[in-house]
Each structure stands twice: as C-alpha cells, then as structure tokens.
Amino acid sequence: MQTIISLQNGIAGDLNRRFDTPINFELREGEHLAVIGVNGSGKSTLIQTVTGQLFLKTGKLSFDFGSDSHRYTGGMIQAIEEQQPDLVVHLGDLQRDAEELALLYPKLSMVTVPGNCDGWTTDPLERQFMVCGKRVLLSHGHIWHVKQGYDAALRAARNAGAHLLLFGHTHRPCCFQEPDGLWVLNPGSARSTFGLVLPEGEALSCSLLDMP
C-alpha cells in the first residue's frame, strides 16, 4: 500500500515546551495509527505538527496521497492543454503539484494557496487578486471549516468585497451564485473535476467541467 504520511527523525516545534526525542513513523493507505501517552507527553503537539499547525524543528515530514489530486497532475495537465487558460489557480493539497505545473508551464500565470496537508509553510492561507476588474478571494477552505458549512467562507468573501470565492478541501465540487451576485466555486477533486471562470462583458461566469 502507498505511504500517505511519513515522518523521519522529526522533533515537534512547540515553542513553549522541549521535545528532543526524534519520532519516526509511516502511515500507509488504509492504516490507522493511535497516539497514546500520559498527559503532557506531546500527543497534541505531534498531531499539530503533522497537520501543519506547528513547525517541525528537525526532520522531514512528507505527504503522498494517491487520490483527490494529491500528487496527481495528469488531469490538470490535460485540462490546461485543452482550455489554454490565461491563469491557473491551485487551491492546495498539494502545493508540490502546483510547483510541477509551474515547471511545465513557466509562462503561465499561477496563483496558489497551501492546504491542510501541505505541512508547515510561510505562504499565506488566504489570498486575494483581481481578474477582469473583479476581486477574487481564495483559500484551501480548512481555515473556514467548509466541511461543516460555507457560512464562514461566505462571510469572509463579503467582508473582502469579493465577486468570486474559491476554495477546496471538501473534495465535493460546487458552483453557484448567491442572490447578491457572489460566485462560489469549489472545483472538487482534480482527479475528476475542475472549475472554469470566463469573463462575460463586465461580469464573470463560472462552471464545473469533468477532467479530460
């Protein structure tokens, strides 16, 4: 089975406490791992480090998922070849995929944000940019807890004055327009679907398409 999380000689990065014993483990597809220990032994610190909430002081942490666009770029490459876009937006998980696309298409503009599986990063979890005079707000979506609902994401978009809200994380594609005109687009898993945004006069038009 494929390894999806690997931690090698890792020391967790809790600034308020001292953990000096390196940790090594692998989690393979379909496996479950229990973290057991007395209070104060570092269970929460380990989980927060693996999920990117704390930094890794030493060692190497890597993720390699075999589904949901994680480490799968084939469909995205075909979509780029077919659509010939002016801009590609990658909504995280994994950022390495976007880096591979950037190497393949060095002249293609690209906007990215990290996801919850991208580990510790200094890249902003939320970005804004303008397209055709319209403000776009994007994040992977975990900071807005979109798996529990879209309220926080919609509130953030309206506070930013956005015309288009982009997020992922749920692996469930959606595309709709709110009564106030705000477009909401989750392209879903890059193994199966992607989103397309086109200018229509002074407005934007959003749609979901199946991966080639």
**Mind listing the pLDDT tens digit for each residue in 26-58?**
766 567 778 888 887 777 777 766 655 555 566
User: Phi/psi of residue 48, each to 5°?
Assistant: -65, -30
User: Average of pLDDT values for 118-147?
Assistant: 90
Cα–Cα nearest to 62, from 121, 116, 106, 4: 4
pLDDT digits (tens, 9 = 90+) for 69-98: 567 788 888 888 888 888 889 998 888 888
Judge whether residue 133 has pLDDT over 70. yes
The average pLDDT across 120-143 equals: 90
C-alpha 188/C-alpha 192 separation (Å) is 8
Q: Is 195 left (phi over 0), alpha (psi -120 to 50) or beta?
A: beta
C-alpha distance from residue 37 to each of 8, 42, 53 (Å): 20, 8, 20
pLDDT, position 54: 58
